[in-house]
Structure 1
Amino acid sequence: MKITHVETHPVRIPAASPQFSWRAGLGGSAPDATGAVLRIGTDEGAEGVALFARPGAAAQLEELVDRVFRAELIGQDPYQREWLWHRVWELDRIEELPLPVLGLIDVALWDLAGRVAEQPVWQLLGGYRRSIPAYASTSTFATTEEFLDVATQCLEAGYAAIKLHAWGDARRDAKLCAALRDHVGDDVPLMYDGSAGFDLPDAIRLGRALTDLDYLWYEEPMREFSISAYRQLAQSVGVPLLVGETSDGAHLNTADFINAGAATFGVRASTTLRGGITGAMRIAHLADSYRLRAEVHGSDIPNQHLCMAISNTTYYESLVTSTDVRRESCVDADGLVHAPLAPGIALPAHLDYPAPLQHLVTTTP
Structure 2
Amino acid sequence: MKITHVEVHRIHVPAADPPFQWRHGLGGSAPAGEGAVLRIGTDEGAEGVALFARPGAAVMLDDLVDRVFREELLGQDPFQREWLWHRVWELDRIQELPLPTLGLIDIALWDLAGRVSGQPTWQVLGGFRTEIPAYASTSTFATTEEFLDVADQCLELGYHGIKLHAWGDATRDAALCVALREHVGPDVPLMYDGSAGFDLPDAIRLGRALSEADYLWYEEPMREFSITAYQRLAEATDVPLLVGETSDGAHMNSADFIKSGAATFGVRASTTLRGGITGAMRTAHLADAYRIRAEVHGSDIPNHHLCMAISNTTYYESLVTSRTVVRERHVDAAGLVHAPQGPGISLPAHFDYGPELRQFVEPGA
TM range (shorter): over 0.9
Give the letter for the 2:142 counterpart. A
Residue 67 of structure 1: aligned partner: 67
1:12–1:351 CA contact under 8 A, matched in 2: no
Query: Contact conserved, 1:301 with 1:348, CA < 8 A, in 2?
Result: no
Find the residue that maps to 2:62 and give its secondary structure: helix
Please name the residue that 1:358 is paired with. Answer: none
Q: CA offsets, 1:160-194, max 9 Å, x none?
A: 00000000000000000011001100000000000
Gaps of 5+ in 1: 355-360
Question: 2: CA distance between counterparts of 1:215 and 1:76?
Answer: 47
CA distance in 2, matches of 1:92, 1:190: 37
The structural deviation recorded for 1:352 is 3.4
TM-score normalised according to structure 2 size: 0.96
Counterpart CA distance in 1 for 2:197 and 2:283 is 25
User: Does the CA-based 8 Å contact 2:37-2:351 persist in structure 1?
Assistant: no
TM-score after normalising by structure 1:
0.96
Distance 1:40 1:350, change over 3 A: closer
The DSSP-based 3-state class of the residue aligned with 2:288 is helix
The residue that corresponds to 1:57 in the other structure is 57
Structure 2: which 5+ runs fail to align?
361-365
1:273 partner amino acid: L
Match runs of 1:192-231 below 5 Å: 192-231=192-231
The answer for the alignment partner of 1:303 in structure 2 is 303
Q: Which residue of 2 is the match for residue 346 of structure 1?
A: 346
Relative to structure 1, the CA distance from residue 135 to residue 351 in structure 2 (aligned partners, 3 Å threshold; closer, same or farther) is farther
User: Secondary structure at 1:133's aligned position in 2?
Assistant: strand
The answer to whether the 8 Å contact 2:130/2:338 transfers is: yes
The CA deviation at 1:353 is 3.4
1:240-274 alpha-carbon deviations (Å, 9 max, x no partner): 00000000000000000000000000000000000
Distance change >3 Å, CA 198–CA 55, structure 1 → 2: same
- The amino acid across from 2:216 in the alignment is L
Structure 1 residue runs of 4 or more that deviate by more than 3 Å after TM superposition = 348-354
CA–CA distance in structure 1, aligned partners of residues 115 and 223 of structure 2: 38
Hey, what does 2:182 align to over in structure 1? Answer: 182
Q: Structure 1 residues 154 and 250 mapped into 2: Cα distance closer, same or farther (>3 Å)?
A: same
1:254 aligns with 2:254: yes
Give matches, 1:151-170, under 5 Å: 151-170=151-170
Aligned residues: 357
2:346 aligned with 1:332, yes or no? no
TM-superposition CA deviations, 1:221-257 (whole Å, max 9, x none)? 0000000000000000000000000000000000000
Instruction: Let me know the Cα RMSD of the aligned residues.
Output: 1.6
Identity %: 81
Contact 1:13-1:351 at 8 Å conserved across structures: no
82-91 or 340-349, larger mean C-alpha shift: 340-349
- The one-letter amino acid paired with 1:181 is R
Q: Please report how far the alpha carbon of residue 73 of structure 1 lies from its aligned counterpart in structure 2 after TM superposition.
A: 0.2
SS of alignment partner, residue 145 of structure 1: helix
Question: Would you say 1:284 and 2:284 are equivalent positions?
Answer: yes
Amino acid in structure 1 at the alignment position of 2:94:
I
Q: Distance in 1 between matches of 2:265 and 2:205?
A: 19
Q: Distance in 2 between matches of 1:82 and 1:27?
A: 37
